[in-house]
Amino acid sequence: MAVTIRDVARAAGVGVATVSRVLNNSGPVKEETRRRVAEAARRLGYVPHGAARSLITRRTQTLGVLLPDLYGEFYSELVRGMDQEARRRGYYLLVSGMHADPKEIRTIVGTMRGRVDGLILMAPHLSPELLREHLPRDVAVVLIGARAPFPCDTVRIDNVAGARAAVTHLIRQGHQRLAVLTGPLSNQEARERLEGYRLALQEAGISVRPELEVEGDFTEASGYELGRRILSLAPSAVFVANDAMAIGLLRFLHEAGVHVPDQLALVGFDDIPMARYTRPALTTVQSPISELGSRAVRLLEEALAEGSGHVPRDIVLPTRLVVRESCGAAEGRVISPGSTINH
């Protein structure tokens, strides 16, 4: 038979209301009484009923997380950052993927209603109109990786500066014919990384050539399958808009007998854990992936605590270039965007 709050009250020699105040930390209780209640609850193995507690506090202590996908090292790092921060703050996560179908957002958000206190959404592939139409205005929302079309907190990576630093580094290595393998250009982050690539070329006095811009989809398979097309462009270096595609491209180049970096230099973006273990090790733009997740949780908790008085913030996290083997430069250096690179 399940232990009830009345059993705890009886064992501690206090009233039910006192036990409730202790367990919910919702009112003044003497320290000695608090210890007695806690000890009785521990001894009896009492577990508070979450649904009943939420009826009283109007909080579920759960945060909803909606991501484009759940596959891959990027998303596992992102969720890890969220989960660690949420646990520190007494929250749990309810995570779902949209699986590249923007129409699912209404259904999933509807399913989460009443089960979560707030929502963290990563949707750089969704248009502002779609977000404005489908996201609830009565629920605290934090957007990851996109600018908000309505007042809410956002946290994103400085994609333009990161891509610019990567391509500038390749140019200073002596490369003039640089291709780019982008993510899907319906995605805001992919467009920003392409913007950084073009900006670096323009600053170096190199013409932007559309035929050197190849659109992928951010997956390993995309990098592998587009390898032949990349080679047909005869670049001396390639900026790849994420590490997953760069790893797929590395595999294709290995099978094609193309030596990286001697015959073709390569730089990725994100610095997922696998990047340092590829052969050659991947030079890449380090995104603070885990911090992106933890910062989103902190922003959401602030919004929940402050209620209607909360003023939304737009947080942009900096990137840095981690130089390894695939670009042909000295390995092991870290370069911040805008810094001078000497050779």
Query: Domain limits at 163?
Result: 159-287+320-335
Cβ pair 66, 124 in contact under 8 A? no
Q: Which amino acid is at 190?
A: A
Asked whether residue 190 falls in the same domain as residue 226, the answer is: yes
Q: What is the CATH number of the domain that holds 39?
A: 1.10.260.40
HEC profile of the chain: CCCCHHHHHHHHCCCHHHHHHHHHCCCCCCHHHHHHHHHHHHHHCCCCCHHHHHHHHCCCCEEEEEECCCCCHHHHHHHHHHHHHHHHCCCEEEEEECCCCCCHHHHHHHHHCCCCCEEEEECCCCCHHHHHHHCCCCCEEEEECCCCCCCCEEEEECHHHHHHHHHHHHHHCCCCCEEEEECCCCCHHHHHHHHHHHHHHHHCCCCCCHHHEEECCCCHHHHHHCHHHHHHCCCCEEEECCHHHHHHHHHHHHHCCCCCCCCCEEEEEECCHHHHHCCCCCEEEECCHHHHHHHHHHHHHHHHHHHHHCCCCEEEECCEEEECCCCCCCCCEEECCCCCCCC
Q: Is the pLDDT of residue 202 over 90?
A: yes
pLDDT tens per residue, range 97-136:
876 566 677 777 777 777 889 999 987 777 767 777 767 6
Asked if the structure places residue 341 within a domain, the reply is no
- My answer on whether 19 and 78 are in the same domain is no
What pLDDT is recorded for position 25?
A: 64
- Same domain? 126 vs 221: no
- Asked if 162 contacts 337 with a C-beta cutoff of 8 angstroms, the reply is yes
Mean pLDDT over residues 75-91, rounded?
93
* Shared domain check, 330 and 198: yes
Residue 264 in contact with residue 236, Cβ under 8 Å?
A: yes
Same domain, 151 and 299: yes
Name the least confident of 58-67, 191-200, 222-231: 58-67
Are residues 69 and 49 located together in one domain of the fold? no
Residue in the structure block whose two tokens are 């006192």: 18
Instruction: Tell me what percent of the residues of the chain surpass a pLDDT of 70.
Output: 88
Enter the pTM of the model.
Answer: 0.77
Distance CA 139, CA 235 (A): 49
Within a domain: residue 149?
yes
Number of domains within the chain: 3
- Residue 265: its pLDDT value, please? 97
Rg, C-alpha atoms of the chain: 25
In a domain, 340, yes or no: no
